[in-house]
Amino acid sequence: MTEQQAHRFERGTDGPKVIVAGVDGSDSSLRAAAYAAGLARRQGALLAIVYVQPVLAAGAALGAPVADATEEIAQDLAAQIRESMERIKGIFDVRWEFHTFRGDPYNGLVKAADDLTADAVVVGASEQAGHRFVGSVAVRLVKAGRWPVTVVP
């Protein structure tokens, strides 16, 4: 075995070490984060909670303060998560980080999972009716086939 083979990264061999949970403030995404927190606690994994700030070109073209609004959402989500983690401290300990990425949700989560070397991705089921026809972020992540993906209703 060469030195390069000995140090090669391999996904999913001993259980997840990094679990990415995508959040957007929806009820299903918050349930997904809670589910991912339980997985991370049981596996001793790092929970990376990720919010992808949408880049809305149309809103920016109309002069809407899109960047300010999405940054405010990110800060609010981070505050909610910190508050939740503080309430369970000492009872339910889990290592976690909060990350924000810019872009569309699918590409943002792919980038997050790649950058953080995720072993698993957890997302909430889409709450938008149209996604049954054009595909949700969850379906696209599953089809990518790069990580185990758990979709929480």
DSSP per-residue codes, 52-86: EE---HHHHHTT--HHHHHHHHHHHHHHHHHHHHH
Q: What is the rounded average pLDDT of the residues 89-100? A: 79
Tokens representing 107 are 């590409």
pLDDT at residue 131, as a whole number: 47
Confidence of residue 19 (pLDDT cuts 50, 70, 90): very high
Instruction: Give the closest residue to 40 by CA, choosing from 21, 19, 10.
Output: 19
For residue 69, pLDDT over 60 is answered with: yes
Per-residue confidence band for 54, with pLDDT thresholds at 50, 70 and 90: confident
> Which range is least confidently modeled, 63-77, 101-115, 130-144?
63-77
Token duo for residue 113:
């999972």
What is the predicted pLDDT for the residue at 11? 55
Q: Is 0.85 surpassed by the pTM of this model? A: no
Q: Which residues contact 101 (CB under 8 A, 6 or more apart)?
A: 50, 51, 52, 53, 108, 109, 111, 112
